[in-house]
Amino acid sequence: MQTREIISTGNDLAAIAAVDAGCLFFAGYPITPSSEVMHTISDLLPEIGGVAIQMEDEIAGVAAAIGAGMSGVRALTATSGPGISLKAENLGLAQMTEVPLVIVNVMRGGPSTGLPTRVSQGDVRQAKNPSHGDYRSITLCAGNLAECYTEVVRAFNLADRFMQPVFVLTDETIGHMHGKAVIPTEEEVKNGIVPRKKFDGTPEDYRPYGVGSDEPAVLNPMFEGYRYHFTGLHHDSKGFPTEEIETCRKLIQRLEDKVMMHRDELEFNEEFMLDDMTGEEGEVLIIAYGSVSLSAKESIRHLRAQGIKAGLFRPITLWPSPAESIRKYTDMIKNVLCVELNIRQYTEEVERVSSRLDIQGLYKVNGRPISPYEIVNKVKEVF
């Protein structure tokens, strides 16, 4: 793969990635600590014929992005936790109508106004179920500067593949971190873009929601002669509202199955210093994600230098969770420590898939990062 080096921040890299991935529309509202995504993409999009709009609020921001997605354009909105709360209703609309878009959430402390200028991973549960109803969220989580770029690119491809919103979680630490990132070239990214499916038959035969039981809708761009009804209600193959029992059941089951039957296309993890783990007494598995994984890696180097064999499992796709991979390592390694900038939001998922209630945790919710030495000390304390 051809690469390039760039010195930038995580927020700027997310904006650059969107443009390189073919995004032509951004709508949002400034909110700390994500505002730089909007600032940067507002400079970049007009240069390539795209449009960036600061809307009157977060609700209007996601509504405009959905409208752009309906027209066939790759669209982005960016915000932080309080903004996701406001966008939630329209995100449910996009799930039901199967409109693709990408949402970058630069996490900060919450709930409510919380700690606007401080780091947190408090939106992990929110990203799994941002709105009511049955559907499966797709949520990616960047763990370094380069992934602020690569995961946004991946999110756009997944949004078009699965025809639904895709979250990219970063946080205040990575969003404002400034450093060197090695990322794919623009040409490499563009060569990897797979356009969303389009129906090329006669308009009379067009059934956007008349697809296989584990397939996403095929939504041709509006204004191109293919007409269908657009509604948040349960709908038939042409989008018209219905309460017919089997039609409703099959629709909601398909929203589940189009994601869960294709988890192999979504799962993406990092396994750091796990190659030599055999399940021997005293080995330690650390599970962390996002910016916390940077501290976890440094702590593992310190632990190994002190004779404690430790390794990191880092889910990059948080939802759907990599259940089989988590189970593989939690079955093999007795000592497991989850490290999060929240209170057990992903630990509960690890417990669920591993059927273990002895998972240890290190959590911090005061807006400050977790240092490598805190992790080292926790490992020595509990194991």
CATH number of the structural domain 271-382: 3.40.50.920
Residue 80: Cβ within 10 Å count = 28
Domain range annotation of the chain: 3-191, 271-382
Do 271-382 and 3-191 have the same topology in CATH?
Answer: yes
pLDDT for res 1: 79
pLDDT for res 188: 96
pLDDT for res 194: 87
CA dist., res. 277 & res. 160, Å (int): 38
> Residues in the chain with pLDDT < 50?
none
pLDDT for res 253: 98
pLDDT for res 93: 98
Classify domain 3-191 at the CATH topology level: Rossmann fold (3.40.50)
- Short-list 163, 162, 169, 158, CA closest to 130: 169
Instruction: Residue count of the chain, please give it.
Output: 383
pTM: 0.97
The answer to whether the Cα torsion of 378, 379, 381, 383 is positive or negative is positive
Residue 130 · residue 77 · CB < 8 Å: no
